[in-house]
Structure 1
Amino acid sequence: MSADSRIFIQTFSGFDLFVDNQVVYFSSKKSKELLALLVSKRGGSVPLSEIAYILYSDTPERTAKNNIRVIGYRLRQILREHGCEGLLIHRPGVYSVNTELFTCDYYEFMKENRMYITAYTGKYMPDYLWASEAVPYLNVVYESYNKKHPLLENESDSCSGMLGNSLPT
Structure 2
Amino acid sequence: MRIIAVDDEDLALEGCMNAIKKADPTAVVDGFTSGKEALERIGEIEPQIAFLDVEMRTENGVNIAKMLQEKNPRINIIFVTGYSEYMKEAFELYASGYILKPVTAAKVKAEFEHLRFPIATQAKPKVTKLRVHTFGEFEVFTENGVPLDFVYSKTRELLAVLIDANGAMRTFDQIMERIWQDEDDAGSHRSYMRNLFADMTRIFAECGCSEALIRRRGEAGINKNYFDCDYFDFLDGKRNDSGFTGEYMNQYSWAEPTLGKLFQLSDGLW
TM-score, scaled to structure 2:
0.49
Match of 1:53 in 2: 177
Q: Shift of residue 60 of structure 1? A: 3.1
Which residue matches 1:78? Answer: 203
1:33 is aligned to: 157
Equivalent-residue separation in structure 2 for 1:56 and 1:111 (angstroms): 30
Which of 141, 149, 160 is the matching residue for 1:18?
141
Contact 2:176 2:189 (8 Å CA) reproduced? yes
* Alpha-carbon distance between aligned partners in 1 of 2:128 and 2:234, rounded to the nearest angstrom: 17
In structure 1, the residue corresponding to 2:266 is in which secondary structure?
helix
Match of 2:255 among 119, 126, 131: 131
Say which structure is richer in helix: 1
Question: How many residues are matched?
Answer: 142
Q: 5+ residue gaps in structure 2?
A: 1-21, 23-126
Counterpart code for 1:74: D
| C-alpha contact 1:87 1:97 (8 A) present in aligned 2 | yes
CA distance in 2, matches of 1:91, 1:28: 22
- Structure 1's unaligned 5+ residue stretches are 152-169
Tell me the CA shift for residue 115 of structure 1: 1.0
How many Å apart are 1:6 and its aligned residue? Answer: 3.5
C-alpha separation between the residues in 1 aligned to 2:184 and 2:204? 27
Amino acid in the other structure paired with 2:245:
T
Q: Secondary structure at the match of 1:126?
A: coil
Counterpart of 2:178, as a letter, is I
Q: Deviation of residue 27 (structure 1)?
A: 2.5
Letter of the 1:99 counterpart? K
For the 8 Å contact 2:248–2:259, the answer to whether it is kept is: yes
3-state SS in 1 of match to 2:241? helix
Q: 1:112 aligned to 2:230?
A: no
Matched-pair contact (CA < 8 Å) for 1:5–1:101: yes
TM-score between the two structures when normalised by the length of structure 1: 0.76
Task: Measure how far apart 1:5 and its partner are.
Answer: 6.4
Aligned to 1:157: none
- Check whether the contact 2:129–2:225 (CA below 8 A) recurs between aligned residues: no
Deviations 1:34-77 (A, max 9, x none): 00000000111100111121112316355222121111111111
Q: Point out the structure with max Rg over C-alpha.
A: 2
Which residue matches 1:96? 221
* Percentage of identical aligned residues: 26
User: Structure 1 residues 92 and 106, CA, compared in 2 at 3 Å: closer, same or farther?
Assistant: same
Between 120-129 and 52-61, report the one with greater CA deviation.
Answer: 52-61
Q: Cα deviations across residues 109-150 of structure 1 (Å, max 9, x unaligned)?
A: 11221311xx11111000111011211211111115x2xxxx
* Residues 249, 255 of structure 2: 8 Å contact kept: yes
CA deviation after TM superposition for structure 1 residue 106, in Å: 0.3
